[in-house]
Structure 1
Amino acid sequence: AASQFGKSKAAVIAEGQIKQTFADVAGCDEAKQDLQEVVEFLRHPERYHQLGARIPHGVLLVGPPGSGKTLLAKAVAGEAKVPYYSISGSDFVEMFVGVGAARVRDLFEQARKSAPCIVFIDEIDAVGRKRGVSLQGGNDEREQTLNQLLVEMDGFGSGQEVIILAATNRPDVLDAALLRPGRFDRQVVVDAPDVRGREMVLRIHARKKPLDASVDLALVARRTAGMVGADLENLLNEAALLAAREGRTRITGRDVDEARDRVLMGPERRSLVVREADRKVTAYHEVGHALAAQLLPHADKAHKLTIVPRGRSLGSALYTPEDRMHHTRAALLDLICVALAGHAAEDVATGQITTGAANDFQKATSIARRMVTEWGMSGAGQLALAQDSSNYLGFGPQPTNYSDHTAQTIDTETALILNSQYDRAHALLTEHAHVLHRLTDELMIRESLSGDDVRTVLAGGLLPDLEVPPLGSSDGPAPSGELTPGPA
């Protein structure tokens, strides 16, 4: 009905119905500590009122997608045991001007009646973007909605026991008026967890999953650097699906390893017919990466390399990265050298180079260019030369903040870094060519090698005999043929 058009679309969860608490959230201890004050205010507001304290009524949760911002907001409501209003920023904006503002008024009117309570606005950047910077001019509906939101948040006095939580992964695009004191004046960062946080997140998601003794969650945490809570939950869910598909009653370490590979690169493509020559080149390429990583002092070590095709890749080398807060110039140069070592290994072993290193070149070039333009790690000097895209409207070429001569210097310094590290990788693998050939022969037979296998061969040791699968098993090596593989 027309009378309902301006009503709020917020989902209302009554007091006590939310079961999530801070015990269900891991990997963001500082964020929980900041929000504990909000919980205490909702539980015992008189303690703050008698001292004349003003609790921030607007708390902005900032972090990458999947890091747990929505879960954390629910946990605050669950801890405080108060009503919870949940709405997305896009639910306010309609094609008719004024509807969004009416919905904001209705939402805050309901919240005041239910105080103390929590109002959670997800993806607030959909309605809270900076005003007046669009190429097409202002958006009347969105700006009126934002104006009404600003007015309503100003309308809360010190006695109003309503907490506004909002979440976004784009705090840089929010209007300055939204972030001033009295509105969203407190920002809580919910970032990707570190190795300890990832282990705690995995333990939470593993509560209702029967894990075998072979599953080492601490080891899984070390091998999943950069993953957020949603990624880790998906990883364990994939492991459970694999175990169920195989008819097992418990999730094994092999299931978790396969799930990680599947999440990062896609499922195995053992049906893909690959020429023996292409398998050989792929093996040299991946061994080149792993061997260089093992020999360089600051590089992350490989824990697995395989020539089993996955997704669009014919092979891969997986690393166990360290959680670093800062990257030294030596570590970045080693990282570039490892990225280029696959291409160098092809040349050292066969005297030919292939198209399989395109992604490696992109990664290496990106790091080298940032060393020149952002981090002052080249002969170009300590200058910030990266392009600022915050005010770019998306029309025409993006303007630069440096001259043509400086642009040529950037290209020269980037090429200097890349070429020197390629020569370094080439010399390193030439020196250890006997290890390169032996590891490649082992990889061709076994299809997968562990980091321990690489270290054993490098030290001159022998690998254990390969277990031959029973006749008729489908676990043998991938078939060879004369068809050209898909793109790497």
Structure 2
Amino acid sequence: MDGFSNKIDENVFIIAATNYKENIDPAIIRAGRIEIHIKVDNLDKDARKYFIDKIIKTKPTRGKFDMHKLLTYTAGLTGAELELISKEASFYCIRHNLSHITQEVLIQEINKIKYGEKASHASHEKTFKKTAIREAAHTVITKLLMPEVKIKQISVTPRNNKNGFITNNFDDLKTNMTIEDIKHRICVSLAGRIAQIKKYGSIVGMDMEGSPDLQHAINDAYMAIAHYGMDTELKYINIKSAKKKASETNEVQHHDQKVDEAVERWMTESEERTVQLVNDNWDDIEQLADLLLDKEIMYEDDLRDIESL
């Protein structure tokens, strides 16, 4: 690609699409080549409403559909995934000899696409209880530290991708967070494993299900320190800029080491705070866990009925 012709009769332009812009050779996307870049983000509420309306209006449906609830549950899904949900809902009705798609069927298929198929094998009782404690802890600490986050659904039903999950108002979450907001998120991420350890001890309570939560917590701490300059000791640094300006390898390593030390400090402080929060709110966590074991899935209205929450 050597640029574009200036001849009037050669109106040629190139359109390309990728999910991995970071892997493209910079020479291809510099000025004079593919120079106009358009980012297509996750579908917003209006876009998701279009797909949900299409399902409701073009498929045989029955009963009421809560659009607000469906928009919340589908946050983060692509158009292709919503089209797949439409097909899977139809297939479900065929397999179970149902004449119409209901909201319950639609939500079931949404959860399947987002979180995986329900596990066919019987869940081990202790694993089931650990999942309930973990998701209850996430919920209670979220309610305490991040009241603006509206939890719409909690499930402890085992699925292929995970043993439990929480759905919140993804579209309404803060995009410009303070250091306090980020530290609150870290505590919420750590609450699940800490609650499991409190209930079952460090040997049984520490399992692989906590891995995604730890990844989220460490990523939040790293971004706050290395990219947003929020650490009180390292102060206003941006590791990406620092690496660009660094001419010596040892200078880059110096920055990385300092950031790693700061991340470790943040995680230790957050762990100590979360342990205290879990201890202080243990009765609420156990109460919610017991309800989850009984219901398997709870919705926003169910949580509203619990006075302590």
Give the TM-score band, short-chain normalised: 0.7 to 0.9
Q: How does 1:13-28 map to 2 (within 5 A)?
A: none
Query: Does the 8 Å CA contact 1:387/1:401 hold for their aligned counterparts?
Result: no
Picking from 127, 130, 141, the partner of 1:278 is 127
Q: How does 1:192-271 map to 2 (within 5 A)?
A: 192-204=42-54, 206-271=56-121
Pairwise CA distance, 1:278: 2.8
Equivalent-residue separation in structure 1 for 2:200 and 2:29 (angstroms): 61
Picking from 140, 143, 146, the partner of 1:297 is 146
Residue 10 of structure 1 is matched in structure 2 by none
Residue 176 of structure 2 is matched in structure 1 by 326
Pairwise CA distance, 1:291: 1.2
Structure richer in strand, relative to its length: 1
* Partner SS for 2:305: helix
Equivalent-residue separation in structure 2 for 1:306 and 1:204 (angstroms): 27
TM-score between the two structures when normalised by the length of structure 2: 0.83
Change (3 A) 1:437 1:325: closer
TM-score between the two structures when normalised by the length of structure 1: 0.55
Q: Which has the larger radius of gyration?
A: 1
Residue 210 of structure 2 is matched in structure 1 by 357
Picking from 235, 239, 249, the partner of 1:381 is 235
Query: Does the 8 Å CA contact 1:372/1:414 hold for their aligned counterparts?
Result: yes
Residue 335 of structure 1 is matched in structure 2 by 185
Equivalent-residue separation in structure 2 for 1:318 and 1:403 (angstroms): 39
Q: Given residue 454 of structure 1, which amino acid in structure 2 is its aligned partner?
A: L
Pairwise CA distance, 1:262: 0.8
Change (3 A) 1:212 1:335: farther
Change (3 A) 1:438 1:236: same
Residue 135 of structure 1 is matched in structure 2 by none
Picking from 141, 164, 180, the partner of 2:31 is 180
Equivalent-residue separation in structure 2 for 1:202 and 1:308 (angstroms): 25
* Partner SS for 2:152: strand
Pairwise CA distance, 1:303: 2.1
Query: Does the 8 Å CA contact 1:339/1:360 hold for their aligned counterparts?
Result: yes
Q: Given residue 354 of structure 1, which amino acid in structure 2 is its aligned partner?
A: M
Residue 345 of structure 1 is matched in structure 2 by 195
Q: Give the stretch that moved more between structures: 347-356 or 228-237.
A: 347-356
* Partner SS for 2:117: coil
Pairwise CA distance, 1:288: 0.7
Q: Given residue 308 of structure 1, which amino acid in structure 2 is its aligned partner?
A: T
Pairwise CA distance, 1:194: 2.0
Pairwise CA distance, 1:287: 0.8
Query: Does the 8 Å CA contact 2:60/2:100 hold for their aligned counterparts?
Result: yes
Query: Does the 8 Å CA contact 1:298/1:334 hold for their aligned counterparts?
Result: no
Pairwise CA distance, 1:329: 2.6
Query: Does the 8 Å CA contact 1:286/1:342 hold for their aligned counterparts?
Result: yes
Structure richer in helix, relative to its length: 2
Q: Deviations over 1:351-373 (max 9, x none)?
A: 44321312211221112111111
Query: Does the 8 Å CA contact 1:299/1:335 hold for their aligned counterparts?
Result: no
Q: Which runs of 5+ in 1 are unaligned?
A: 1-145, 391-398, 461-488
Query: Does the 8 Å CA contact 2:131/2:164 hold for their aligned counterparts?
Result: yes
* Partner SS for 1:166: coil
Pairwise CA distance, 1:341: 0.7
Equivalent-residue separation in structure 1 for 2:53 and 2:293 (angstroms): 37
Residue 305 of structure 2 is matched in structure 1 by 456
Residue 309 of structure 1 is matched in structure 2 by 158
Residue 286 of structure 2 is matched in structure 1 by 437
* Partner SS for 2:100: coil
* Partner SS for 2:126: helix
Alignment length (residue pairs)? 300
Pairwise CA distance, 1:277: 2.8
* Partner SS for 1:304: strand
Query: Does the 8 Å CA contact 1:305/1:448 hold for their aligned counterparts?
Result: yes
Residue 19 of structure 2 is matched in structure 1 by 169
Query: Does the 8 Å CA contact 2:156/2:296 hold for their aligned counterparts?
Result: yes
Query: Does the 8 Å CA contact 2:154/2:165 hold for their aligned counterparts?
Result: yes
* Partner SS for 1:413: helix
Q: Which runs of 5+ in 2 are unaligned?
A: none
Pairwise CA distance, 1:163: 5.1
Q: Given residue 16 of structure 2, which amino acid in structure 1 is its aligned partner?
A: A
Percent identity of paired positions between Structure 1 and Structure 2: 23
Pairwise CA distance, 1:252: 1.3
Q: Over aligned residue pairs, what C-alpha RMSD do you find?
A: 3.0
Pairwise CA distance, 1:432: 1.9
Pairwise CA distance, 1:207: 4.6
